Each structure stands twice: as structure tokens, then as C-alpha cells.
Structure 1
Amino acid sequence: MRKLIIGCGYVGLAVAREWVKQGHQVSALTRSENNAEKFIAAGIQPVLGDITQPESLERLPEADTVLYAVGFDRTADKSRREIYVTGLDSVLKVLKQRSQKVIYLSSTSVYGQTAGEWVDETSICEPERENGQICLEAEQLFDQHGFLSTAATQTKTATAVILRLAGIYGPGRLLARMEQINAGEPLAGRPDAWLNLIHLTDIIQTILRCDKNVHLDDRYLVCDCRPITRQEYYETLARLLKAPEPRFASAVPGENSSKSTRFNSTERASGLNKRCDNRRLREELGISLTFPTIAEGLPDAIENG
């Protein structure tokens, strides 16, 4: 079958390699001739183009499945809205006539909850931060272009599925944090705030499952089975690295970081982030996570990083 990847980076390239192994015909959009050469070596057919240049998108081939995994490139001299909204809008205008299914990688930043509430696919999305607002605006383009099923159709079958990814980790994605932990540098952010994470391996298996399934919901929250606090995450990472116990910049010097944050009770009720529930992913899509928590995932990421 024909597969097209738009955004062939950390996640996209990993999926492309899996599709190549499965014997599919895989194409990938790229702005770079250097990347094009790397794609060819990996058995991927490059398509030179840029989502911010609509005329170049006429080169996009027909595909049975499109994976849209575009991230924000700070070196591209484009705003977040130009990349996530304007670029996606241009792509969807072309894909209407050239694809049967689009798998779109979004973010849990579309949720605005900040007091540690549990959220799932039915939770209200009212993001306060600009990046979340832009991600939500991008998701809404699928409705506007008619890619998603509506209540009026009384069906769950969709020509697009939106995957709201939690924080991505895996091989090659921990280097900066590992260096910071090993150096004993103080960490920014609240130690008691919640983190929602997902290992690269489980993102890949979710995408492959969505590709194979005909009857899909239009949105899935893709996270592991246990949200953790920032403190637990970094303590676990430090223990695995045999590094010094992590310190947080928000803590009072000389005191235990878990008890000495500079936040009053009102501040502590907000800014705790949300906790993501992956029940639909597991029970409806049938995903059995390879790395259900960081206890399994972090050792793998470190060993294979």
C-alpha cells in the first residue's frame, strides 16, 4: 500500500522505517535535499516541498494513509501558527482528493486544566497558553475540511484520526536531561507538577494500529498508564544514571525539594498540569503498551539512546 509521511522527524521517520519493513511504498515530504538522500538510502521516496509553500504541495502523491507528524522547527523562520495552522490548512486542501486516511499527531497541550484534574477525550479543551490554542485551532481544521465524522452521521468511522500525544521520550530524546542530571544542575519547574509521558515505541504501535483499523474514533489520547510528578521522574532518571539526587530551582536552598517550594496554597492549586487517562486507547483501540510506565520505559530509553 502507499504511505505518505509529512513531518519525517523523530516519530515520522521511525514509522516510515516500520512501513518499509512491512513492504509498503513509502514517500515523505522534505524541504532538504540532504534529507532526501537519507530517505532514499532508507528506502523512502522523497518528495521535495514545504507545507508553507502551497504550490509545492501539488507534488504530493496519492496515498492510502498519510501520517502528519510536523513539529515546530525554530530554525525555519516561521511562526508556530504558520507551521501548525496555515501549513496544515494548505495540506488538507490537497489531501482531500489524494488520500483515504490521515493520522494527525496533535498534543495534550490542547487541554487547559492546570490543577491536577484527570482529562480524557471527552474533556473540555480551553487552553490558556498560545501553543495549546494553536494546536486546538489546527485540530479544528479537520472538522472544517470535512475529514472527521460528525454526530449527524451516527458513525465512528472517520477519514482522519487525531492522536493527542503526551510528552514524548525514548532513545535519543533524553540526552540534554541526562547531562543536566549528571552535572547536578538545578531543574526548572515545579517538582510537584504532573507529567504525562509516552514512549516512542508505543506511539509507533498506536499509529500502526490506526492505520490497520477501519472503525476508529476521531480522537485518542496517547499517554502511558501512570502520570507522575516531575520530582519522581527526575529522581528515577537520576537513580538509573547513578547521578546526584535532583535539585529544583524552585526549592529553598538547603531544604528538601519536595517540601520547600516557594508556592503558597493558592499557587499550588494551579500550575500542577493535568493527568491524562488512556482508557480509550487501551480499551477501544486495543493498545497494550510496551512501556506502561517510566519504570519500564526509562531503562530502555537510556540503554538504547
Structure 2
Amino acid sequence: MHKLIIGCGYVGLPVAQKWLEQGHSVSALTRSEAHASEFKQRGITPLMGDITQPDSLKGLPESETVLYAVGFDRSAEKSRREIYVEGLNNVLTEIKQRTEKMIYLSSTSVYGQSTGEWVDETSVCEPERENGQICLAAEQLFEQHGLTPNGAQRETATAVILRLAGIYGPGRLLARMQQIKAGEPLTGRPDAWLNLVHLADIVNTILKCDTDIHLESHYLVSDSQPITRQEYYETLARLLKAPHPQFAGDSPGQSALKSLRMHSTERAAGLNKRCSNLRLRETLGVELVYPTIQEGLPQAIENT
């Protein structure tokens, strides 16, 4: 079977490796000669092209499965909308008749909830930030192209959207590790919720979606225990034997005065949301290798 990866980077490469081990042929789209050379060395067939240039996509092959895992590349000198929405639209226009299944990596930023409430796949998506709005617009392209999973005319899904929480894993913690070791003050609210997922569990979720099973249209891909930003960095500091993390902010007197001026709902805003992975575990049947950062962070640090 042939697999095509568009966006063969931090997530796509390990998925490609797993597919190759399963005996599939794998192609990957790239606009970089250096990446093309790396793909060849790994046994991946490179395809030169650019998602923002429709004519360059004409040669994309028929594929049983397409993994779309494009991230934002600032060096491309394109806007987020050009990459995430217009680029995806170009790809869907070209390949929707030449693939059986498409697995699309989206983001939990499509949710606009910000007072610590729980969200799942049925929660309303009304993002206030531009990044979330763009991600939601990209998701909506699937319905516009008639690729809605589990449609009345289809026995199996044509497309599945995976809303990923914050990705961590080997090689993804270096900057934060250095910051913690140096005792530099951290930005952001220490009491805000973080939703995270380990790279290995994302890969396993993608592979599960590529099996012959019934799929829902969306899955929220997060670990089983949202944590506060403070707890996350305290755990990271402890594992690194680094100084206790300090957060940049107002002095205690200023914070108290500001709190008196704020309504309780205003104070709650900015706490982010908490992501439920119930459908991922119970419906899709994914057994997380790293259900919390207590298991995942040591592995990520050791392999960074």
C-alpha cells in the first residue's frame, strides 16, 4: 500500500518510519532539497512541491492514506492563513479523488474556552485568537470539499481530524530545559491549564486511524491529566535538578490591588481549557504510552 505524507517533520517522520516497517511504500512532499536527500536516506520517496503553489501538486500520486501534518514555517515568508487554509485547499482540490483516507492534524486552539472548563469533541468551537480561527477555518474545508467522515453515502470515513494538544517529546524540550537550568523567569499565568501529549501517543493515534475501523469525524488527542503551568515547570525543574521555577509578574502588592479591582469571572479568564481524551481512549481504543507528564517527561528528557 502507498502512503503520502504532506508535512513530514517532527510527527510525520516517525509515522513514515512505522509505515515503512509495516511494508508500505511512503512518499513525502517537500520544497527542500536537503529534506529530499534526508527522505531518500530513510527510504522515503521525496516529491518536490509547495502546497501554496497548486501547479506543483499535479504529480502527487494515488495513495491509500494521506497524512497532512503541515506546521507553520516562518522561513516560507507566507502567512498562517496562506499555509493552513489556502495550502490545504490546494491539496484537497488536487488529491481528494486520489486517496481513500486523509488524516489531518489540527489543534486544540480551535476551542475558545478560557476559564478552566472541560472540552471534548462536542464542545462549541468559537476561538478568539487568530491562530485558532485559522485552524478552525482549515477544518471546515473538509466539509466544503465533501469529505465529511461517516457520510450517508460512505461506509467508512474519508477524512479524520485530530485536534492535538501541546506536543512534547525528545528534542522538543531543549529551549525550556536551558531556561529552567538558568533560573530565568517564566512567562504566562502559573495557574493556567496546560494540555499536553507525547509524540509517541500522537504516532500511535495516527496508526490506529489508519486501520480498518469505524472513525468519528474528530478526535481530541491529549494525555489524561491536564496540569497547571506551575506544576509542569516544577516537575521539569525537579527532573533536571534545577532551581525552583520563578514566574515573571507583578509584585505581591500590585497583584493584590489588581485582584480587588477584577470581577471573579475576569480573573478566571485566561486559565485556558482542560481537554478530555475520553473518545480517544474509549471509542478509538488508543492506549496511551504516556498518560501523564510523570511518565512522559523523563523519557523526553533522557532522549533529548
Aligned residues, how many? 301
Find the aligned partners of 1:273 and 1:13 in 2 and give their Cα distance: 30
Deviation for aligned residue 1:139: 0.1
Q: After TM superposition, where is structure 1 displaced by more than 4 Å over at least 4 residues in a row?
A: 259-264
Deviates more, 1:210-219 or 1:274-283: 210-219
Q: What secondary structure, in the 3-state scheme, does the structure 2 residue paired with 1:78 have?
A: coil
Q: What secondary structure, in the 3-state scheme, does the structure 2 residue paired with 1:59 have?
A: coil
Q: Which residue of 2 aligns with 1:169?
A: 168
Q: What secondary structure, in the 3-state scheme, does the structure 1 residue paired with 2:58 have?
A: helix
For residues 247-286 of structure 1, the C-alpha deviation after alignment (integer angstroms, 9 at most, x for no partner) is 001253799xxx9796544432100000000000000000
Give the letter aligned to residue 61 of structure 2: P
Query: Is the 8 Å Cα contact of residues 224 and 291 (structure 1) preserved in structure 2?
Result: yes
Q: How has the CA–CA distance of structure 1 residues 30 and 114 changed in structure 2, closer, same or farther, with 3 Å as cutoff?
A: same
Q: Which residue of 1 aligns with 2:141?
A: 141
Find the aligned partners of 1:262 and 1:290 in 2 and give their Cα distance: 42
Q: What secondary structure, in the 3-state scheme, does the structure 2 residue paired with 1:28 have?
A: strand
Give the letter aligned to residue 57 of structure 2: L
In structure 2, runs of 5+ residues without a counterpart are none
Q: What secondary structure, in the 3-state scheme, does the structure 2 residue paired with 1:212 have?
A: coil
Q: Which residue of 1 aligns with 2:19?
A: 19
For residues 151-202 of structure 1, the C-alpha deviation after alignment (integer angstroms, 9 at most, x for no partner) is 7x29783100000000000000000000000000000000000000000000
Deviation for aligned residue 1:94: 1.0
Give the letter aligned to residue 283 of structure 2: E
Find the aligned partners of 1:133 and 1:271 in 2 and give their Cα distance: 17
Q: What secondary structure, in the 3-state scheme, does the structure 1 residue paired with 2:191 have?
A: coil
Q: Which residue of 1 aligns with 2:217?
A: 218
Give the letter aligned to residue 224 of structure 2: C
TM score, norm. by length of structure 1: 0.95
Query: Is the 8 Å Cα contact of residues 174 and 302 (structure 1) preserved in structure 2?
Result: yes
Q: Which residue of 1 aligns with 2:6?
A: 6
Deviation for aligned residue 1:22: 1.3
Deviates more, 1:202-211 or 1:91-100: 91-100
Find the aligned partners of 1:122 and 1:295 in 2 and give their Cα distance: 28
Q: Which residue of 2 aligns with 1:85?
A: 85
Give the letter aligned to residue 111 of structure 2: Y
For residues 186-237 of structure 1, the C-alpha deviation after alignment (integer angstroms, 9 at most, x for no partner) is 0000000000000000000000000013310010000000000000000000
For residues 55-92 of structure 1, the C-alpha deviation after alignment (integer angstroms, 9 at most, x for no partner) is 00001111000000000001110000000000000000
In structure 1, runs of 5+ residues without a counterpart are none
Find the aligned partners of 2:149 and 2:66 in 1 and give their Cα distance: 17
Deviates more, 1:141-150 or 1:41-50: 141-150
Query: Is the 8 Å Cα contact of residues 3 and 64 (structure 1) preserved in structure 2?
Result: yes
Deviation for aligned residue 1:116: 0.4
Deviation for aligned residue 1:95: 1.2
Q: Which residue of 2 aligns with 1:240?
A: 239
Find the aligned partners of 2:38 and 2:30 in 1 and give their Cα distance: 11
Query: Is the 8 Å Cα contact of residues 161 and 217 (structure 1) preserved in structure 2?
Result: yes
For residues 12-53 of structure 1, the C-alpha deviation after alignment (integer angstroms, 9 at most, x for no partner) is 111111111111100000001111010000000000000000
Find the aligned partners of 2:153 and 2:190 in 1 and give their Cα distance: 44
1:132 aligns with 2:93: no
Q: Which residue of 2 aligns with 1:46?
A: 46
Give the letter aligned to residue 18 of structure 1: K
Q: How has the CA–CA distance of structure 1 residues 233 and 251 changed in structure 2, closer, same or farther, with 3 Å as cutoff?
A: farther
TM score, norm. by length of structure 2: 0.95
Query: Is the 8 Å Cα contact of residues 194 and 272 (structure 1) preserved in structure 2?
Result: yes
Q: What secondary structure, in the 3-state scheme, does the structure 1 residue paired with 2:46 have?
A: strand
Deviates more, 1:156-165 or 1:275-284: 156-165
Find the aligned partners of 1:225 and 1:219 in 2 and give their Cα distance: 17
1:289 aligns with 2:288: yes
Q: Which residue of 1 aligns with 2:278?
A: 279
Using the aligned pairs only, state the percent identity: 71
Q: Which residue of 2 aligns with 1:115?
A: 115
Give the letter aligned to residue 201 of structure 1: A
Counting only pairs closer than 5 Å after superposition, residues 174-193 of structure 1 correspond to structure 2 as 174-193=173-192
Give the letter aligned to residue 246 of structure 1: P
Give the letter aligned to residue 96 of structure 1: K
Give the letter aligned to residue 29 of structure 2: L
Q: What secondary structure, in the 3-state scheme, does the structure 2 residue paired with 1:117 have?
A: strand
Q: What secondary structure, in the 3-state scheme, does the structure 1 residue paired with 2:76 have?
A: coil
1:204 aligns with 2:203: yes
